[in-house]
Structure 1
Amino acid sequence: MATNPSTQYLKIKQRHPQLISAVESLGKVAKQGGPIDEKTAQLIQLAAAAAIRSEGAVHSHAKRALDAGASVDEIRHALLLLTSTLGFPCVMAAMSWADEKL
């Protein structure tokens, strides 16, 4: 979990603690299931967040990637790599959301 979860996340956690516990457990088990390090995992999740155009998830995974040791340049490059797959407008939106946390 990010060091400073969003207000919305905290509201849902308060209303549905078992659901959030299950979601957090799923994430931990998935990460422990293979050899990918935390920094790489966060960059992958950042890319997925950009792909689904989730501003909140881009915010979260940009912060988590930083916390996991990714540089600002690595985060921006991970997003730029998506241009030919997702398209320029989608990537620019994700870049603007990530920049709010970088």
Structure 2
Amino acid sequence: MERKRKLDTYQRFKKQYPDYFGAVEALGTAVRHAGPLDEQVIQLVQLGAAAAIRSEGAVHSHVRRALEAGATPEQIHHSLLSLTSTIGFPTVVAALSWADDVIGRAEPNT
């Protein structure tokens, strides 16, 4: 229910401010094409940043995108665990929990 509400809010603002959202999407495309990193690596990097700022919605988004780019649940978990000495144990555990919200939905029979 919470995810649907956030998606509704996102869609409403996207419709209300199409130029702004178009510019943000264009920036994302430009960044992805600016260097040698593949989509999976970019999503794991952005996942780490989302975890660091404790953004549950961004963690959900980047886990979804990482899975779509071919990352495994184990790679996602490892990328978050590797942040422990940088962002701290409690923040990592929260991010793992948020990641599993998405991974659980992505796995068959869950």
Which category of TM-score, normalised to the shorter sequence, fits these structures? Answer: over 0.9
Counterpart of 1:94 in structure 2 is 95
Counterpart of 1:71 in structure 2 is 72
Q: How does 1:15-30 map to 2 (within 5 A)?
A: 15-30=16-31
Letter in 2 for 1:91: V
Give the gaps of 5 or more residues in structure 2.
Answer: 1-5, 104-110
Give the gaps of 5 or more residues in structure 1.
Answer: none
The whole-number CA distance in structure 1 between the counterparts of 2:60 and 2:8 is 13
Counterpart of 1:81 in structure 2 is 82
The whole-number CA distance in structure 2 between the counterparts of 1:68 and 1:50 is 19
Counting matched residue pairs gives: 98
Moved over 4 A (4+): none
TM superposition score normalised by structure 1: 0.93
Aligned residues with identical type, % of pairs:
55
Instruction: Name whichever structure is richer in helix by fraction.
Output: 2
User: RMSD value over aligned CA atoms?
Assistant: 1.1
Q: How does 1:53-68 map to 2 (within 5 A)?
A: 53-68=54-69
TM superposition score normalised by structure 2: 0.86
* SS in structure 2 of the partner of residue 35 of structure 1: coil
State the shift of 1:6 in Å: 2.5
Deviations 1:21-76 (A, max 9, x none): 00000010011000000000000000000011100000000000000000000001
Counterpart of 1:52 in structure 2 is 53
State the shift of 1:11 in Å: 1.6
Letter in 2 for 1:51: A
Structure ID, larger Rg = 2
The whole-number CA distance in structure 1 between the counterparts of 2:13 and 2:47 is 22
Higher relative contact order (CA 8 A, sep 6+): 1
* SS in structure 2 of the partner of residue 6 of structure 1: helix
